Structure 1
Amino acid sequence: MTPRTDLTNYLIHYPREAGLGDEDPETVLDRYHTPDYELVNDGVLLDRKRLLDHIRPARKRAVGLRVEVEQALVDGDHVAARYRLIAELGKGAAITTEIYMFGELAADGRLRRAVQATRTVPSG
């Protein structure tokens, strides 16, 4: 599965695998993204190193994670999605983030670049 072949399942599985899985974060990142992948999240550029630096501590904080996909579109080498990521933290706390993502795919179907705008919304 790649973002090109099944964007909805990518949006659901990648955060779980990266944030909660036992597999090496680099292996998970490489499964879905090109080596030169860049994510611009709310105007902040995250390259491979910064993404991996973000994933490792997130694994220590999250006890659960789910994604609710509202829209997921693939058009040639471009993708767009609107979804919510609900991170469950210790002691029952949850953070819900609404995400609007636009991306570019590589020839092999993995993401090469993505731009996201996010906002925290009330959980529940």
Structure 2
Amino acid sequence: MTTTDISRALNDLLFTPGGDLAAAVERHFAPDYRQRTNGVWSDREGFVQHMTALRSLVRDGRVEIHDELRDGPRYADRHTVTLTRNDGSISVTEVYLFAEMAPDGRFRRVEETTLLISGHADDRNLGSVK
């Protein structure tokens, strides 16, 4: 399996119309995947619930990587996610991400902090919506 990165993963999960969510999660996230966003932990099942909720709110978007580093199984990046909701409103969130990769190149653990750059105040919760 090819080593993934956050841009490939988010494009596959959120910005591929008609894409199979279960298959995308399987491609990019190890079975024992855990994620902490703004201090709140979730397991892989909770992450799938989060992606399902986001997919219901978002019609389009893009990921822009500003900085990206790899060191063995460690991965870190700073990226911006621009989302267009179904109602046409747009939000921009900057994300600071640190991760551990599984031996097969998928994410095993992600810890991230998000910063809303623009959008409605409620968009601060997009990183953990379920």
TM bin (shorter chain): 0.7 to 0.9
Query: Are 1:115 and 2:116 an aligned pair?
Result: no
Aligned to 2:65: 69
**2:15–2:62: 8 Å Cα contact kept in structure 1?**
no
Separation in structure 2 between the aligned mates of residue 62 and residue 16 of structure 1, nearest angstrom: 12
Separation in structure 2 between the aligned mates of residue 90 and residue 114 of structure 1, nearest angstrom: 27
Aligned to 1:15: 10
Aligned to 2:85: 89
Aligned to 2:102: 106
Separation in structure 1 between the aligned mates of residue 30 and residue 74 of structure 2, nearest angstrom: 15
Aligned to 1:2: 3
1:65-103 CA deviation, whole Å, 9 max, x = no partner? 101110011111101100100111134311111100001
Separation in structure 1 between the aligned mates of residue 22 and residue 52 of structure 2, nearest angstrom: 10
Bigger mean CA offset, 35-44 vs 86-95: 86-95
1:37-72 CA deviation, whole Å, 9 max, x = no partner? 001111111211111111112212111110111001
Aligned to 2:46: 50
Runs of 5+ in structure 1 lacking a partner?
4-9
- Picking from 29, 34, 41, the partner of 2:37 is 41
Identical columns (%): 28
Aligned residues: 117
Separation in structure 1 between the aligned mates of residue 98 and residue 68 of structure 2, nearest angstrom: 10
Query: What TM-score, normalized by structure 2, do the two folds share?
Result: 0.83
Separation in structure 1 between the aligned mates of residue 102 and residue 53 of structure 2, nearest angstrom: 28
Query: What TM-score, normalized by structure 1, do the two folds share?
Result: 0.86
